[in-house]
Amino acid sequence: MFNNKLSKILGSDRLKKNVPLAPHTTFGIGGSAQLFYKAKTSKELIKAIKAAHKLKIPYFILGGGSNILVADRGLAGLVVKVQSSKFKVQSYKIFAEAGVPLTKLVEIAQEHSLSGLECCIGIPGTVGGAVAGNAGAKNQWINQCIKSVTILDKSGKIINLKKDDCQFGYRSSCLRDNSSKIILKAIFELKRENPKIIKEKTNKFLEARSNQPKEKSAGSIFKNPANDSAGRLIDAAGLKGKRVGEAQISPQHANFIINLGRAKAKDVLALIKLAQGRVREKFGVELELEIQLIGFN
């Protein structure tokens, strides 16, 4: 059985079986991972991926679980939770491993009077997830202060990508495909700034997020279509507050689906389809998912 071989490589005390994934997601939704491993260092992350490749085990890289919907039936194969969290500040640069929480990265920048990451204030998740999905707000994105990203590629090689190699776009990059390029660390190039100005910028971004719900969610469900807002369209389609099971289109902001307690992934999916259908019907606009669906057909 591949489990035995994998457990020999990763340690039988470290490789867990049938681990519920819901607590590892901000949605609080999803079935179990057949196999689950917490990679506490970059070395462990590389070891886990190489082992999965060698044993031909399908794998999924989990960061902060903030931008995903995991299927109710869970995931076959291995889930590797990235917890490598070393960082270093050198002059106006920050080196951060993929598992550093984004909130921590923002904090480090503030402590060192470094500006450029204010747009990431309040965004959950890890450095790896934020870089792959080019997190940000109000036309400012994390890629604007990225210098380079170190990845593990399919063949097991460690490669340094310059910012321009990453094909950053609105909530996207070539690193978003979970299995072919695994982010190990990133270097951020920031600007020294007066702490008062950093605080003002930070407050501006916090203010922009003040209409967002506090309940469990995966952040924005859809990307904004060009020159419009998914939230505005779903709201105008009359769907605010619509419920399926214990999932609800937030009465506060229509581009958020919230988990009222024990929502199932299938309930969320039903609301996603409903929103897409109504917005298409009413406005002729195709809403594209921002979150990733994991473990669905």
Q: Does 289 bind ligand EPU (CB under 6 A)?
A: no
Least Cβ distance, residue 120 to ligand EPU (angstroms): 10
- 16 near ligand EPU, rule: CB under 6 A: no
Residue 285 found at the interface with ligand EPU (CB under 6 A):
no
Kindly state the greatest CA–CA separation across the chain.
58
Nearest distance, CB of residue 210 and ligand EPU, angstroms = 9
Rounded-to-integer distance, Cα 3 and Cα 15, Å: 9
Please give the size of the binding site for ligand EPU, defined by CB under 6 A.
Answer: 19
* Partner residues linked to 187 by β-bridges: 95, 148
Active-site entry in 44, 97, 118, 290: 290
Q: Where in 203-262 is the site for ligand EPU (CB under 6 A)?
A: 208-209, 211, 219-220, 223-224, 229-232, 235, 240, 253-255
Is 137 a binding residue for ligand EPU by CB under 6 A? The answer is: yes
Whichever of 49 and 244 has its CB closer to ligand EPU, that residue is: 244
Q: Which residues, numbered 185-204, are part of the site for ligand EPU (CB under 6 A)?
A: none
**Distance in Å, CB of 208 to ligand EPU, minimum:** 4
Q: How many CB atoms lie within 10 A of CB 155?
A: 7
Compare residues 58 and 241 and give the one whose CB is closer to ligand EPU.
241
Spatial neighbors of 276 by CB under 8 A, at least 6 apart, are 286, 287
Give the Cα separation of 159 and 6 in Å (integer): 25
Q: How far is the CB of 223 from ligand EPU (least distance, A)?
A: 5
Confirm or reject binding of residue 128 to ligand EPU (CB under 6 A). no
Task: State the Cα angle at 164 between 206 and 50, rounded to 5°.
Answer: 90
Annotated catalytic residue: which of 7, 220, 250, 278?
Answer: 220
Q: Mark whether 290 is an active-site residue.
A: yes
Q: Does 138 bind ligand EPU (CB under 6 A)?
A: yes
**Distance of CA 237 to CAs 44, 173, 232, 274, 286, Å?**
47, 30, 9, 10, 13
- The alpha carbon dihedral of 123, 127, 130, 135 has a sign of positive
When asked if residue 116 is in the footprint of ligand EPU (CB under 6 A), the reply is: no
Alpha-carbon distance 70 to 294, whole Å?
A: 5
Q: What is the 3-state secondary structure (H, E, C) of 155-224?
A: CCCEEEEEHHHHCCECCECCCCCCCCEEEEEEEEECEECCHHHHHHHHHHHHHHCCCCCCCEECCCCECC
Nearer to ligand EPU, 14 or 216 (CB): 216
Residues that bind ligand EPU (CB under 6 A): 137-138, 208-209, 211, 219-220, 223-224, 229-232, 235, 240, 253-255, 290
Residues marked active site are found at 171, 220, 290
